[in-house]
Amino acid sequence: MKNKTPIYLCVIIIMVLGYKITMMDDWASNQNLLFYNGPIITMEAETPSVEAVYVENGIIHSAGNYNDILQSIHPDTKIINLDGKALLPGFVDSHTHPVISTFTHGMVDLSGFTHQTSKELWAHFEKSVSEHEPGEWILCGGFDQVLVPGLEPPHISYLDSIAPQNPVLIASQSLHSYWTNSLGFNASGVDRETPNPSNSSYYERDESGDLTGYIAEQKAFDPLKEAIIQALGKSTLKEKSVAVMDGYAKNGYSTITSMGVTTSDKNVIRLYRHLSTGKPTFADQLLTAFRILPKRKPTVRNFVFIRYDSSHLLPASVDNGDDFFKILGIKFWYDGSPYTGSMYMESPYLNTDLTRNKLHIPNNHSGVSLLTQEELESFITKYQDHGWQIAIHSQGDIAIREILESFDKIINDKGIADYRHRLEHCLLLQEESMKLMAGLNIHPSFHINHLYYYGKALKENIIGKERARQLLPIKDADQNSLIYSIHADQPMFPGEPLSLLQTAVNRRTEGGDLIGSNNAISVMMGLKALTINAAWQIKMEKKIGSIKKGKYADFVVLDQSPLTVPISEIRNIKVIQTIINGKTAYIRHPSSQIR
């Protein structure tokens, strides 16, 4: 008879671990808190400000007069003196990319935010190459021909000469364009015979058919992405994932919307579910005990839209997850980027040195749709019939118009329901489209810092003054009864909500140019776009997005109130603390902790 002792030992070990895990104090809140002595902005129309907020076990118990609340708190309540700092609902990031942010985290910075000239940028690149070990991937991000004057894209021959022993990746700021060297192509299995995935996603070749190093759009980039992920290793990516989630809380976000999560791997979804969910599974806790999954701590809520080409990641039902992690729907791309010539517009791009010689946009080009309307209608019907929310990347006026025509046709047949479908970015959203959106219960999320970083280039070199004046019409959307949000599209732009707020309010570029002042909104309207409106778009407005009895205690503490500082100083407001479900997810430094 075989010795069963090892089996019994394994069972005992698992039972002991199971008991230990079930007894673990996960980060669900169990503390009572009272906040007072600072401006408390509730985002509730009936009581826009209160003197105090009382929290029991992660839920707002009351908000109102300090002395009244003080009479009914538990004896063990922690009383927190804001000392003049502002308390607001935690910000809701309505459109971000944590998986791509994990991929770009720690890349060599080639951005126009850091480098003012082409010479400076390439000197930094060459110095960075020299600091890598042979064979190691050299990953660079932020390459931007709009923000860096005279910047030319690298040819494969240059990259080979500078990094003959290392595969190289350079990602554009927009993340729609990439460049690599010969070792990068070799590592990813791409050569001159590799077919292009599509007309809009391809490997550029010269007249002889040789690869130039340029890669357009995501499908063509996928082989490089997979090679890099394999080279980095799972442990590194897990560490970066945690750091990225910490970064959202550092910026004042208590909730994020992962818009078109860039993966086809169920284990990636499992990782993010584990990090955010209200209660992890026993299996995931066991994996944590064995250090296969990272240890949990307070972090942002995460609501996910799956990419249309990874629909196998959708759960069986829309009734999945919890109030901390949930898969909401599916995302499509109908057009592309203004900076690659793929934004789909009624009138052509300008014919300028920037568009012609730097961005390589053909003369009289107006962009293209990435799907036919028939394909889009088929997708909408398929996923809407199962109750999924649908979000569609749409920048140009014609792209938006054709999308709405498709929705109108389907909804006329099936009727309007509370799907809360969304259009993402909406650079050139026209009045007639807004009216149709309101009737279809479809709402926009505006990529507002296009105006801040690229407004001057859009006005002078890409789409012209008249269309630039109509960019990102937030106030018009409000007047058409649309429930809108604003976003940074991290990692394209820094995920800084107060920067988004200032741009939405003052409509000025980084250089101070005023664009579309008729669509400037109030600070309060901008705050709604970052809180209660964004919560509504993910069907969480009854639980987060404002400070109200019965909602989760998701707060951000700021060193100053956005309602009282000069508009030109909003971007400089500091996030002091982010609280999620009554627990601190971020604190600036111990000396700044609210008492």
HEC assignment per residue over 533-544: HHHHHCCCCCCC
Mean pLDDT of the 114-125 span = 97
- Asked if omega into 491 is within 30° of 0 (cis), the reply is yes
DSSP 8-state assignment for residue 514: B
How far is the C-alpha of 47 from the C-alpha of 302, rounded, in Å?
A: 28
* Contact in structure between 98 and 244 (CB atoms under 8 Å): yes
pLDDT confidence tier of residue 439, bands split at 50, 70 and 90: very high
pLDDT in tens, 12-60: 555 455 545 544 456 556 789 999 999 999 999 999 999 999 999 999 9
pLDDT (0 to 100) of residue 143: 96
Q: What is the mean pLDDT of the chain?
A: 93
Residues 6+ apart with CB under 8 A from 549: 60, 61, 62, 63
pLDDT in tens, 468-521: 999 999 999 999 999 999 999 999 999 999 999 999 999 999 999 999 999 999
Its sign, for the CA torsion 458, 459, 465, 466, is positive
pLDDT (0 to 100) of residue 23: 45
- SS3 assignment, position 65: coil
Classify 115-232 by CATH class: alpha beta
- SS3 assignment, position 238: helix
- Residue ranges of the domains in the chain? 115-232, 237-307
> Does the pLDDT value for residue 591 go beyond 70?
no
pLDDT (0 to 100) of residue 412: 73
How far is the C-alpha of 292 from the C-alpha of 267, rounded, in Å?
A: 11
CA 564 to chain centre: 28
* Contact in structure between 527 and 34 (CB atoms under 8 Å): no
- If residue 431 lies in a helix (H) or strand (E), which one and from where to where? helix 431-440
How far is the C-alpha of 410 from the C-alpha of 416, rounded, in Å?
A: 9
How far is the C-alpha of 525 from the C-alpha of 506, rounded, in Å?
A: 12
Residue type, 126: E
pLDDT confidence tier of residue 593, bands split at 50, 70 and 90: low
Of all residues in the chain, the percent with pLDDT exceeding 90 is 87
pLDDT (0 to 100) of residue 420: 96
Per-residue 3-state assignment (H helix, E strand, C coil) for 374-387? HHHHHHHHHHHCCC
Q: Residue 88: exposed, middle, or buried by beta-carbon count in 10 A (0-12, 13-18, 19+)?
A: buried
* Helical segments of 178-309, H only: 182-188, 217-232, 234-250, 266-276, 282-289
pLDDT in tens, 212-253: 999 998 899 999 999 998 898 888 889 999 999 999 999 999
Nearest to 262 by CA among 221, 300, 201, 233: 221
Question: In 10 A of CB 514, how many CB atoms?
Answer: 11
More confident residue, 33 or 414: 33
pLDDT in tens, 323-370: 999 999 999 999 999 998 999 999 999 999 999 988 889 999 999 999
Its sign, for the CA torsion 438, 440, 445, 446, is negative
Residues 6+ apart with CB under 8 A from 233: none
> Does the pLDDT value for residue 68 go beyond 50?
yes
pLDDT confidence tier of residue 174, bands split at 50, 70 and 90: confident
Pairing of strands 86-89, 555-558: antiparallel
How far is the C-alpha of 373 from the C-alpha of 365, rounded, in Å?
A: 20
